[in-house]
Amino acid sequence: MALAAPLLRLRLLPLAAFVAVVSLTAAPRRAEAWGKQGHIIVCKIAEKYLSEKAAAAVEELLPESAGGELSTVCPWADEVRFHYYWSRPLHYANTPQVCNFKYSRDCHNSRHQQGMCVVGAINNYTDQLYSYGDSKSSYNLTESLMFLAHFVGDVHQPLHVGFEEDEGGNTIKVHWYRRKENLHHVWDNSIIETAMKDFYNRSLDTMVEALKMNLTDGWSEDISHWENCGNKKETCANDYAIESIHLSCNYAYKDVEQDITLGDDYFYSRYPIVEKRLAQAGIRLALILNWIFGEDKPDGNVIPLQVQ
């Protein structure tokens, strides 16, 4: 599993260090990825697959307010976007109306600073967390952990690797049943909210348990494939972005136009995609954290995951 950071090491610092360059990293306002509920789901799944060493390191790094649970801080990166203005481009990547992702072409902010996208952010914060245990580390590893957990969720939301022209579906106005929304918000929030209402009695915990059951039953044979990096020359985050743009083209954007009404047909055909992406994000976040904080690095690309 290739998790090396790109050649350009972007040390993403707190707000004070970036006041002078805010205008350089500014980006259009975009919807949150997965919404709060989706990010909590991703991290609740990941928590169950952390090794003992990774779970201990995560607990040590978490702020006291988290109560020892990673899932409580997974929405944090969305909450600080309006203070850490420089971090806004790190939640997504855009392609020029094509259904493929290329890091060298697509991973930049509005000023074309390379690495300033969700893939670059995952690489960067993974790299920072490798300094855990080093007394000379100058990174705020608590923030590194919270950013990484969030951005792994983001890269799995298909429209966070969408088209530049419509800002990942943000400018495509639709009706979700009777409610006016944009396509991006549908994938961030509405599909999950509708599923919770229709299938899970509005209970987040019930939905999480259903996804966990699928991971030990229906998806059990798929997990080993989720753990692999298909592209040996790039990082796993790069592969996740490639998956997302393909899903954007084949599902999110497909048969959608301005002012269309999206209802049962769209929901029932797209919800399985959302469900699987949430599960994949949780599994892969656990995989990355186990790799970072594990004492022994196994040979090959696969790190066996076990429910704790």
DSSP-assigned states of every residue in 126-177: HHHHTTTT-TT--S-HHHHHHHHHHHHHHHHSGGGEEETTTTTTTT-EEEET
* Per-residue pLDDT at 25 exceeds 60: no
DSSP 9-30: ------GGGGGGGHHHH-----
pLDDT score, position 234: 52
Instruction: Name the amino acid, one letter, at 51.
Output: S
Report yes or no: 39 and 74 within 8 Å, Cβ to Cβ: yes
Rounded CA separation 244/228 (Å): 16
pLDDT score, position 285: 96
**Percentage above 90 pLDDT, the chain:** 75
pLDDT digits 0-9 by tens, 46-94: 999 999 999 999 999 999 999 999 999 999 999 999 899 999 999 999 9
Burial class for 249, CB neighbours closer than 10 Å (0-12, 13-18, 19+): middle
Token pair 């600080």: residue: 80
Q: From residue 57, how far is each of 31, 54, 61, 295, 301 by CA, in Å?
A: 31, 5, 6, 11, 22
* Per-residue pLDDT at 29 exceeds 80: no
Rounded CA separation 80/14 (Å): 10
Backbone angle region of 116, left / alpha / beta, with phi > 0 → left and psi within -120 to 50 → alpha: beta
154-168: average pLDDT? 98
Rounded CA separation 207/264 (Å): 19
Rounded CA separation 248/241 (Å): 10
Rounded CA separation 69/59 (Å): 7
Report yes or no: 144 and 60 within 8 Å, Cβ to Cβ: no
**Percentage above 70 pLDDT, the chain:** 82
Query: Using the 8-state DSSP alphabet, how is residue 185 labeled?
Result: H
Among 295, 276, 291, 294, smallest CA distance to 226 is for 276
* Per-residue pLDDT at 9 exceeds 60: no
Rounded CA separation 237/230 (Å): 11
Among 174, 178, 202, 200, smallest CA distance to 31 is for 174
* Per-residue pLDDT at 301 exceeds 60: no
Confidence at 33, pLDDT banded by 50, 70, 90: low
* Cβ neighbours of 254 (radius 10 Å): 12
* Per-residue pLDDT at 11 exceeds 70: no
Domains of the chain: 36-293 (1.10.575.10)
Confidence at 6, pLDDT banded by 50, 70, 90: very low
pLDDT score, position 227: 79
* Per-residue pLDDT at 26 exceeds 50: no
Burial class for 122, CB neighbours closer than 10 Å (0-12, 13-18, 19+): buried
- Reading the block at residue 52, the tokens are 């003992």
pLDDT score, position 110: 93
pLDDT score, position 216: 87
Confidence at 207, pLDDT banded by 50, 70, 90: very high
Among 240, 214, 213, 209, smallest CA distance to 227 is for 240
Predicted TM-score (pTM) of this structure: 0.86
Confidence at 245, pLDDT banded by 50, 70, 90: very high
- Reading the block at residue 274, the tokens are 């959302």
